Amino acid sequence: MKKKIDLLAFLGRNWFYYVLWLIIAVFAWEWVFAYLTKPKEEESVYLFFGVENVLTDEAHSALDSKKPEYVRNLDITFYSTRSDSFDVLFATRIQTEADVFVLPEEYCEPSAMRYLFYPMDLSEVKEIFGEDAECGAAVCEDKAYGVKIYDKETGEGKAANYLTYTYLDENGEKKAVGDYYLFFNKKSLHLGKLSKSELDGALVLASAIWNDKAE
């Protein structure tokens, strides 16, 4: 009986430690589960749109069904290039993580293109995007680094169901910072035949954006 009383007294004095260990065990299991189930880098494709707005739900609705089976996670992010903090965000995160970029024409400067974007032969541009993509390509030294997906003069753009390329100025008039181009990150794991990789998610999704017709 005394041993039983001593045990109850011991448990009563140390209950806090048991609760603490239980909490630690729960958090440890959650961390292990999250680690084991988190999509790997080669299972994720990151699309970055440097436009004025993206209807994210509509974008996922249009693109989720097009992505290859191996892609478990499709990350869609947008940020206006007119923002004061855009350059910092782009330099510290976006340019290292995104597989596909949609950016205005100021990024067609030759040194920027050679540093960041994957150079394609014009024949590859036709194969991925179609015959009409070649005429609007951003070309440098006979290589195409991007394809035009929005024309400022005509106001026509690809994937207009979920991408907004224009903003309203102080007079309420629609403006665009320029033409917009789609680029591939030269370091992407998902460039398929461009980089002799079996992972082609960036190509497939870029083609889906290009071929999306506004209703």
Start-to-end CA span in the chain (Å): 81
Within the chain, residue ranges assigned H as helices are 2-37, 56-63, 86-89, 95-97, 110-116, 122-129, 201-210
Q: What is the pLDDT of residues 73-96, one digit of tens each?
A: 999 999 999 999 998 988 888 899
Q: Hey, what are 71's tokens?
A: 């892609």
**So where are the chain's domains?**
1-38, 44-210
Rounded to an integer, what distance in angstroms lies between the CA atom of residue 181 and that of residue 162?
A: 16
Mean pLDDT of the chain: 83
> Are the C-beta atoms of residues 47 and 76 closer than 8 Å to each other?
yes
- For domain 44-210, the CATH class is alpha beta
pLDDT single digits (tens) 151-166: 999 999 999 999 999 9
